[in-house]
Chains A and B, each alone.
Chain A
Amino acid sequence: MAQENGHLFSSGHTACAGCGQAIAARLVVDVTGKNTIIANNTGCLEVFSTKYPESAWGVPWIHSLFENAAAVASGIEAALKFLGQKEKTTVICQAGDGGTADIGLQALSGMWERGHDILSICYDNEAYMNTGVQRSGLTPFETSTSTTPVGKQSLGNPRPKKPMPEIAVAHGVAYVATASSGYPQDIQKKIKKAISIKGPKYIQIHVPCPLGWRHDSELTYDIAKLAVETGLYPLIEYENGKLTAVRKLSKIKPVEEYLKFQGRFKHIINSPEQIKQIQAIADYNIERYGLRPEPVNPSAPQPVNTQTKV
């Protein structure tokens, strides 16, 4: 059922003002269209879009448990195949970072391994937001969260982000990409590409959370862009296991530019030693994925098809 203003995710949901996940979820379903069925893990998106008895969704949507959307989506896809209706229907399995990288990973791994024709979306706000900002496997290094508070004994989260895109690639997932709510058209382009490919697809979208990241609501867009522009959240695409495209950075910004607006990194801004460690993560990404505008060494083998920065 389409909305009057053409969106399949409607106004009236109860996300916080400026929620990056609400931006991305609408962009995704508006591209996949009305012949979409969504299975959603537990998390903010599930809670703020379906305050019973209401729903913001304009397509069939189901929530069962925190950990099992991938199993539910697998069943939906198998049933559609049996009924001969899979060709015209897109099945989405979607979750937060906790639901994807930690608690739902077992079901997701099975879904990928069985080769279901399903698009998985991870809305990566980098912690368990709906229950009060606990650290997840996708929380960045040295982030302050309620389970990794900063103090005499702790500099914040002691572990780097789990490499979920590469974990998907290792499963043989046909199309794997990262995206960001700071680049709405890029999200829609990647969703379009994903649904043109048969088999499992994984797209991980960086979605600022004003509540958990402790930033002003109007900064959602700018902060999402800064994560990309510093090299901390590289926008990349893998097709059939090969890195096929990256968003080049025309001007690489220092990580402080990104960190300084967010309460979760306040302790880092006053610590040159910690800034250095975060900068090292960005520098590593820049080298690893080849994010510089010009190749450092023109005679080195080039990554394929690198797209230029808009």
Chain B
Amino acid sequence: MFGPLISKAATAKANKTGSWRVEVKPKFLQKDCIACKMCVLICPEACVSGEAKNTYLCDYEFCKGCGNCAAICPKKDISMVKEEEK
């Protein structure tokens, strides 16, 4: 009980924190993206990825819908939309 507790690396991925989202989710428009990677750098959930222009996406299994990727995007190419929107 009081011995050292040891966990395996990156096992937090078992928590699908996408279920925390309320009302809004980011939509990556993939129109004016310049691949600056600012959305990757700011996402608190480490769930945005992409390489070339207009390829950036987030993993909705983990995205908490915080909105900071949309706030930082210099091209306004990410917008927060209603959860039901496609």
Instruction: Report A's interface with B, CB cutoff 8 A.
Output: 1, 3, 5-7, 9-15, 17-20, 22-23, 26-27, 49-59, 181, 184-185, 216-222
Contact = CB atoms under 8 A, between A and B. Distances in A.
Interface centre among A11, A52, A59 (most CB of B within 10 A): A11
Contacts of A219: 71
Interface centre among B5, B20, B38, B68 (most CB of A within 10 A): B68
A23 B42 CA distance: 6
A19 B5 contact: no
A14 B15 contact: yes
Interface size class of B (residues with CB under 8 A): 35 or more
Contacts of A220: 44, 66, 68, 71
Given A18-B66, A19-B44, A58 B9 contact: yes
B66 A14 contact: no
Given A18-B44, A23-B44, A184 B67 contact: no
Nearest to B5: A52
Interface in B62-86: 62, 64-68, 70-72, 80
B32 interface: no
Interface of B: 5, 7-17, 20-21, 38, 41-47, 49, 59, 61-62, 64-68, 70-72, 80
A12 B17 contact: yes
Given A184-B38, A218-B70, A221-B71, A1 B10 contact: yes
Given A18-B66, A51-B12, A11 B7 contact: no
Contacts of A17: 20-21, 44, 64-66
A189 to B, nearest CB: 12
A54 B12 contact: yes
Contact of A53 (B7, B21, B59): B7
Contact of B11 (A26, A55, A218): A55
Contacts of A56: 10, 12
A119 to B, nearest CB: 20
Nearest to B49: A5
